[in-house]
Structure 1
Amino acid sequence: MNVLLNSLRELITPTTAAYALAAIGLNIHFGFTGLVNFGQAGFVAIGGYGFALSVVVLELPAPLAIALTLLLATGCALLLGLPTLRLRADYLAIVTIAAAEIIRFALNSSAFASVTGGANGLYNRYSGWLKDANPYPSGLIHLGPWTFTSVDLWIATVDWAVVALVASGVFALVRSPWGLVLKGIREDEQAMLSLGKNVALYKLQALVLGGCAGALAGILYVQPTSVQPFDFAGRMTFNMYTMLILGGAATVLGPILGSMVFWVVMRLTDELVGLGVAAGLFRDVTQGSMVRFFLVGVALVLLVVFRPQGILGNRVEVSFDAR
């Protein structure tokens, strides 16, 4: 029972909220517009490091730091999108993978360690603005079967409020004429061109909007902890696609549900691996973790084969055909 309760705690943690927001941004790209972005982790890294450096190095107040970070994300999206979005979809995929790795290697490099902290990253000296606004009483707070510190519960509250706000905005946008054009581009780009729509401009707008959502997710992601370049590896983008496919692409709530289910399953398998090591089923935690990722990968393959639309998705809207 403790194993299950510990796993269900992931439903409301700040990490789950940050990933849900990043997956919402990826959903704007892939689910609604059909853009194949394999570098969403790069936008999350821009958000995390951009905000941290703005507060720590530039000593900007939090609102200005957030604005500057979103401006950086917009500039990066424009830099990636302008030369590639008029070409085939695979060019964007290649460019976004490369850009995300360039960002990560630059942040990890010792050449910039005096600013970024290099491989050690930046320890948390940038979340005081959020902690100072904490309205909860200090100490431990019991929420159902779970116990949180006052600060952790406040950060989780703010994170989920931001997720709800962004999801509401996406809900309104995708039902507007602008959102209908995005879906049209996803289904048949040539048809949209024949109707006189500036497809490249719409794609660029979607790339910027989804990238800013990813950067905002990065700001949320680093608030409870330090900023480490290792966190923004390609595995992060893979996890986001897993959440998106699991919950349902081209749906507003799909990325949120997918993030919740993903992190509950990951925590549950972690707990089970620990029990397996204690019982002698695995030689050590490393061996157990390899089995865990193998099972998660098999489950994802089965999901794509038998329910590609995910939990909430509509199979008519979702297609994995390359065009």
Structure 2
Amino acid sequence: MSLCKLCLEREANKKNTHYLTDAIIRTCLNLDGTNEREKGLYFALDNTNPFIDFNFQRLDELTLEATIGRKPTDEEIENAKSIPFSVDYVFCSECEKLFTEIEASFIEKILPRFRQSDLSGISVVTEEDVVTIRNFFYIQLYRSAICEDILNFPSDFLKKLRLNILEKNGDTSIPLSITYLQTVGGNATYTENYIGFTNDKNPFIVFMNDFIIQVYENEEAVKFLPFHGLNEQDNFAATININEQVFNFKIFDNARRKLFLNSVIVNEKVKKTIQYYRDMFDMFWRKLFGVDAPVLQKERYIHGLINGDENNLIKYSKQEVFEFTVAYMAKLFNVTK
């Protein structure tokens, strides 16, 4: 019998536990921004992997191909059978009730202040219900760390989160920063946001649709990380909630949200992917000729992959890149014969 990862006492008997709250992330996952469950597309924002791993649910093949720019792979089709950010038999039904209670309180008391309010011209939102806010974000962090290897919390910090959740005390000793991305333009606009995790540490960063979580193990671990404009040096200290009486949310207006998300995808994916392909082309060339590829040949190869738009690079599957590279090399050799 496997024990529940929260209480460590009861059997882990609960199926379909969303470790990121479904009511928050659902509008980002669904292609039209609807609240319909299990119908949508998402990708893993993993900056350790040059390829974007797409997943989708209950979408027809034409819709999917139009969205990601290619046919789904067999692996992606198989993955589509799973529910995103959800696990089976990790937690127990009693702890699931605790999660639901914490989530319902946040959704009722706090969420409308953001999604149902005009935040134009506002850079900080202050809320007095610190316990509700911290309990909610603690369950996002703890469940995600249990279910996602990339969110690698130290064991003592993980234990601290677990005990805080069980006690529902909203402990304020954990440094926590939350940025809200004001998402304007109707429900479909939420699909522009991201869901996933980075491999940064202190802060550990979680993208959760229109909320971005940054957490530190302790006060001594707090350090400034620009992260493509998410943090700014001049107001950094004020955005960290620790031992607070009221909780401060940093607000990005819609224009800044778009600039930030574009910077993330360009710097975390596109630029790193281009370098990955350059390195891969060098590897091919070294195996053939024993030296690195000439710069001109390497840039021609990248230009062929990009095909006029750098963002094309993040749509390719591994198999497509391999096939393109083989075809490119064959064409190159034919030309030079």
TM-score, shorter chain, exceeding 0.5: no
Higher CA-based Rg: 2
Q: Which structure would you say has the larger RCO, counting Cα contacts within 8 Å and 6 or more residues apart?
A: 1
Please state which structure has a larger fraction of its residues in helix. Answer: 1
TM-score between both structures, scaled by the size of structure 2 = 0.27
TM-score between both structures, scaled by the size of structure 1 = 0.27
Please state which structure has a larger fraction of its residues in strand. Answer: 2
